[in-house]
């Protein structure tokens, strides 16, 4: 018993006549009659009582008819979903994002959803190392993160370059009367340090900057997650130096940002995909939106 047989049987029942069903299906009546007999033989039951002037669906025929209705509706739904995925109007897009770039992603998702409301978006958080591994394992379609030094195997779009800023608990801000705190001043406070990450030189660059000014940072915590770093700063545990990004956090009212003129290094947020690898149409559409 296949889908074609179920389709023909359903039409016979709907038309309450083999001859009328044959007309609707644009096939000859004898093959349709043979199909019905074959179904009954295969199932070992009478599906339709056929009299000279009377036509009646049996209990088993009713059961098969209901099954055929469900199966054919499901098949139509599957066909429609496949067509939508092929057209890029439905399906699931998997995108990874580092904590530093999460708010940038929100803006892009808002634009994307306005154009493709039926596409489901799966967001995976992680640091750059983890996201690039997931991308290589084809667990992600795209990733939005800070650009790494080892990026030759990826296609990427470079977004707006971000400088580094000092974030301090607001209650500590009177200790920094200048709008541009110095490295020497920073060294006097406990520092929550962005931990070293593969492909990023920030950790080493910052230590070098302290060394060039002949001071030693008082590192009390190291963490790879910028959101966690901001939260720790907001709790008054220390200050930190992080990329200037468009952060949104319930703790923002408890922190203050300062420019750092003595630091001349920055980071580049990028959206990446695997080079020379095809991606789904829905992911390609998201890639196109990102500017």
Q: What does the radius of gyration of the chain's CA atoms come to, in whole angstroms?
A: 32
Average pLDDT value for the chain: 86
Q: Which two tokens stand for residue 4?
A: 């074609």
Q: For the segment 218-231, what is each residue's pLDDT rounded down to a tens digit?
A: 999 999 888 899 89
Look at residue 87 in the predicted model and tell me its pLDDT: 63
With cut-offs at 50, 70 and 90, classify the pLDDT of residue 245. low
Q: Which two tokens stand for residue 22?
A: 């044959």
Look at residue 265 in the predicted model and tell me its pLDDT: 80
Question: What CATH superfamily classification does 91-160+269-289 receive?
Answer: Periplasmic binding protein-like II (3.40.190.10)
Look at residue 76 in the predicted model and tell me its pLDDT: 75
Q: For the segment 4-29, what is each residue's pLDDT rounded down to a tens digit?
A: 888 888 888 888 888 888 888 889 98
| Average pLDDT value for residue range 53-71 | 86
Cβ proximity of 233 and 255 under 8 Å: yes
Q: Which range has the worst mean pLDDT, 79-93, 150-164, 167-181, 237-251? A: 79-93
Look at residue 173 in the predicted model and tell me its pLDDT: 92
Q: If we measure between CA atoms, which residue out of 166, 121, 189 comes closest to residue 261?
A: 166
Q: pTM, whole model, 2 decimals?
A: 0.61
- The domains spanning 91-160+269-289 and 163-265 adopt the same CATH topology: yes
| Average pLDDT value for residue range 30-54 | 86
| Average pLDDT value for residue range 93-107 | 86
Q: Which range has the worst mean pLDDT, 147-156, 228-237, 280-289? A: 147-156
Q: Burial of 267 by CB count in 10 Å (0-12 exposed, 13-18 middle, 19+ buried)?
A: buried
| Average pLDDT value for residue range 37-53 | 85
Count of CB atoms situated within 10 Å of the CB of 84: 16
Indicate whether 202 pLDDT > 60. yes
Q: Considering the domain 3-87, what is its CATH architecture?
A: Orthogonal Bundle (1.10)
Q: What are the residue ranges spanned by the domains of the chain?
A: 3-87, 91-160+269-289, 163-265
CA distance 232 to 251: 9
Close Cβ partners of 58 (under 8 Å, ≥ 6 residues apart)? 45, 46, 47, 48, 49
Indicate whether 273 pLDDT > 70. yes
With cut-offs at 50, 70 and 90, classify the pLDDT of residue 1. confident
CA distance 2 to 36: 13
Q: Which two tokens stand for residue 95?
A: 């995108």
Cβ proximity of 146 and 244 under 8 Å: no
The fold for domain 163-265 equals D-Maltodextrin-Binding Protein; domain 2 (3.40.190)
With cut-offs at 50, 70 and 90, classify the pLDDT of residue 123. very high
Higher pLDDT, 235 or 248: 235
Indicate whether 244 pLDDT > 90. no
């Amino acid at each position: 018993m296949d889908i074609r047989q179920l389709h023909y049987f359903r039409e016979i029942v709907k038309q309450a006549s083999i001859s009328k069903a044959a007309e609707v299906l644009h096939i000859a009546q004898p093959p349709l009659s043979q199909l019905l007999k074959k179904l009954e033989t295969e199932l070992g039951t009478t599906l339709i009582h056929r009299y000279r002037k009377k036509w009646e669906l049996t209990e088993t025929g009713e059961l098969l008819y209901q099954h055929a209705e469900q199966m054919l509706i499901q098949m139509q739904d599957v066909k429609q979903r496949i067509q939508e995925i092929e057209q890029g109007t439905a399906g699931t897009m998997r995108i990874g994002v580092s904590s530093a770039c999460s708010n940038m992603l929100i803006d892009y998702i808002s634009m994307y959803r306005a154009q493709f409301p039926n596409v489901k978006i799966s967001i995976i958080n992680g640091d750059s190392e983890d996201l690039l591994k997931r991308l290589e394992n084809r667990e992600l379609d795209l990733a939005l993160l800070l650009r790494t030094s080892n990026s030759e195997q990826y296609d990427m779009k470079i977004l707006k370059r971000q400088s580094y800023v000092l974030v301090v608990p607001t209650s500590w801000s009177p200790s920094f009367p200048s709008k541009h705190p110095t490295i020497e001043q920073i060294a006097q406070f406990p520092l929550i340090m962005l931990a070293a990450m593969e492909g990023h030189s920030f950790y080493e660059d910052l230590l070098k900057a302290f060394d060039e000014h002949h001071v030693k940072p008082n590192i009390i915590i190291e963490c790879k997650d910028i959101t966690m770093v901001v939260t720790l700063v907001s709790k008054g545990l220390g200050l930190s130096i992080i990329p200037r990004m468009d952060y949104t956090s319930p703790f923002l009212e408890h922190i203050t940002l300062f420019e750092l003129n003595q630091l001349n290094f920055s980071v580049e947020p990028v959206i990446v995909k695997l080079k020379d690898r095809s991606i789904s149409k829905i992911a390609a559409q998201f890639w196109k939106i990102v500017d």
